[in-house]
């Protein structure tokens, strides 16, 4: 990705306003993370979450920007909205009505699907808020109880507060998408993950100065971070381009010329969904063992200790499985082949229709396999670096994929915006020079006779 055009951000007033708006909205989000929910002793919760590292709660706490461990009004984060959106996306495959809205509804259909996702977000937030309130009431640690005054009033207040916080975050994300630059929901998750990066850098520097970490290990850590990030950037931008030939065709009274285009298939079409789902399932036994203190779950949790061979094998298998599953749900080769046929396109050497769909599916199957292996390596490498070199690698694999992916998409949108601004200015300048807007002038700038 070329970065040369980014120096022109200051020359684009509209883009500058959008970036300032994004920063202000993210600042509002970070302020809300530190507003505690009434009726909870946050010191007890902080101690509890320190003991829950490596479980689902630790994963959700990272995605919420540490709001869950502080039990702020944004404790649920944006995860209910993401979960509701995924559920609606899956339902479009099995529910014909939602499937028609997605394929044939156009802008109005997408608006309805978004509205259903919002309703699902509120329902999930209320349900999760109730479960969290009941769990907090039963929580007793050596330092005291987490809830000061348990009861129905606390449960209702917690449900309403957490739901309102999630709805506000959802609104912030939509405002960033509409009036800012980039995807608002992704940027909120990005801000929640990177908020601990400065403190992690300071902590590592202190460890080196105090002699707790050798300078060699610090250099190895920095080199590993740079290499892993560079590999993620390369793989996230990697594509398998299938050549598509378009024949000449009549559209109305115009003859459209044919030509060569490409159907780009990403190396990792499923994004960060597979590692999130895989992490949740692998960490689930440890979470139940910590909460229920059951012998069976304790044995399963000890069998699936993070870093063990069984844990890593199960993690890799689940990642590859969810890569295939989510890609199969969101990408339909038959629909792609049908749309290609309707537009007069075909893959050279492949018959249009069923044969084209089979060819795309065959290529996609191989790509997803390599993509699943790549995601698995990215998720396991940080833990390997931390364990082998005995250094603290701040970013886990899932967080690293999210951070790099969001950064690439946002930079691409900024560059696209700058390019559009450049062409608009160029066309206006050409119009002024050639007086194209004057109806008395012809296409070449000469006076019409």
Q: Which of 320, 334, 295 is nearest to 377 (CA)?
A: 320
| Chain center to CA of 269 | 12
Pick the CATH number of 212-393 from 3.30.420.40, 3.40.640.10, 3.50.50.60, 1.10.3370.10: 1.10.3370.10
Q: What is the pLDDT of residues 19-36, one digit of tens each?
A: 899 999 999 999 988 888
**Span 132-167, pLDDT tens digits:** 888 788 776 666 677 878 888 888 999 999 999 999
Burial class (CB in 10 A: 0-12, 13-18, 19+), 140: exposed
pLDDT at 366: 92
pLDDT confidence of residue 193: 83
With a cut of 60, say whether residue 449 has pLDDT above it.
no
Q: What percent of the chain has pLDDT over 90?
A: 13
Q: What is the pLDDT of residue 445?
A: 40
Which residue intervals of 271-353 are DSSP H helices? 273-292, 295-303, 309-330, 333-342
**What confidence category does residue 441 fall into, taking pLDDT thresholds of 50, 70 and 90?**
very low
Q: Mean per-residue pLDDT for 405-432?
A: 74
CATH tag, 1-196: 1.10.3370.10
Cα–Cα distance measured from residue 303 to residue 294, given in angstroms and rounded to the nearest whole number = 14
pTM above 0.75, yes or no: yes
151 against 291, higher pLDDT? 151
Q: Report residue 203's pLDDT band, with 50, 70 and 90 as the boundaries.
A: confident
Percent of the chain topping pLDDT 70: 79
Q: What is the mean pLDDT of residues 336-357?
A: 86
Nearest to 170 by CA among 123, 126, 121, 116: 121
pLDDT for 396: 67
Look at 115-124, 276-285, 382-391, 415-424 and tell me which has the smallest mean pLDDT. Answer: 382-391
Q: Could you check whether 1-196 and 212-393 share the same CATH topology?
A: yes
What are the sequence ranges of the domains in the chain?
A: 1-196, 212-393
């Amino acid at each position: 990705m070329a970065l040369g055009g980014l120096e022109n951000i200051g020359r684009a007033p509209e883009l500058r306003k959008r970036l300032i708006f994004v920063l202000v909205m993210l600042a509002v989000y970070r302020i809300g993370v530190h507003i505690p929910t009434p009726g909870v002793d946050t010191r007890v919760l902080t101690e509890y979450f320190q003991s829950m590292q490596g479980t689902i709660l630790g994963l959700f706490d990272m995605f919420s920007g540490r709001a869950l461990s502080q039990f702020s009004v944004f404790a649920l984060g944006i995860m209910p909205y993401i979960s509701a959106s995924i559920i609606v996306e899956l339902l479009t495959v099995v529910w014909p009505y939602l499937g028609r809205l997605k394929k044939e509804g156009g802008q109005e259909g997408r608006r309805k699907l978004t509205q259903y996702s919002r309703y699902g977000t509120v329902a999930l937030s209320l349900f999760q808020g109730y479960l969290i309130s009941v769990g907090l009431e039963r929580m007793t640690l050596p330092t005291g109880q987490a809830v000061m005054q348990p009861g129905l009033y606390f449960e209702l207040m917690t449900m309403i507060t957490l739901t309102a916080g999630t709805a506000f975050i959802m609104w912030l994300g939509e405002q960033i998408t509409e009036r800012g630059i980039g995807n608002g929901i992704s940027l909120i998750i990005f801000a929640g993950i990177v908020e601990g990066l400065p403190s992690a850098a300071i902590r590592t520097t202190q460890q080196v100065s105090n002699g707790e970490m050798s300078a060699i290990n610090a250099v190895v850590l920095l080199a590993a971070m740079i290499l892993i990030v560079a590999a993620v950037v390369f793989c996230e931008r990697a594509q398998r381009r299938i050549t598509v030939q378009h024949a000449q065709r009549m559209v109305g009274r115009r003859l459209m010329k044919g030509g060569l285009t490409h159907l780009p298939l990403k190396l990792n079409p499923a994004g960060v969904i597979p590692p999130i789902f895989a992490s949740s399932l692998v960490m689930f036994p440890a979470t139940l063992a910590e909460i229920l203190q059951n012998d069976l779950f304790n044995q399963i949790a000890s069998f699936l200790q993070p870093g063990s061979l069984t844990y890593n094998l199960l993690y890799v298998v689940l990642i590859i499985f969810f890569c295939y599953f989510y890609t199969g749900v969101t990408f339909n080769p038959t629909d792609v082949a049908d749309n290609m046929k309707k537009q007069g396109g075909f893959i050279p050497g492949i018959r249009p229709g069923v044969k084209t769909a089979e060819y795309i599916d065959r290529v996609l199957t191989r790509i997803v396999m390599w993509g699943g292996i790549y995601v698995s390596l990215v998720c396991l490498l940080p833990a390997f670096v931390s364990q082998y070199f005995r250094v603290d690698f701040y970013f886990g694999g899932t967080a690293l994929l999210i951070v790099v992916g969001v950064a690439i998409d946002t930079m691409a949108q900024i560059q696209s915006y700058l390019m559009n601004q450049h062409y608009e200015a160029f066309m206006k300048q050409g119009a002024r020079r050639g007086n194209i807007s004057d109806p008395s002038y012809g296409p070449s700038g000469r006076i019409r006779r």
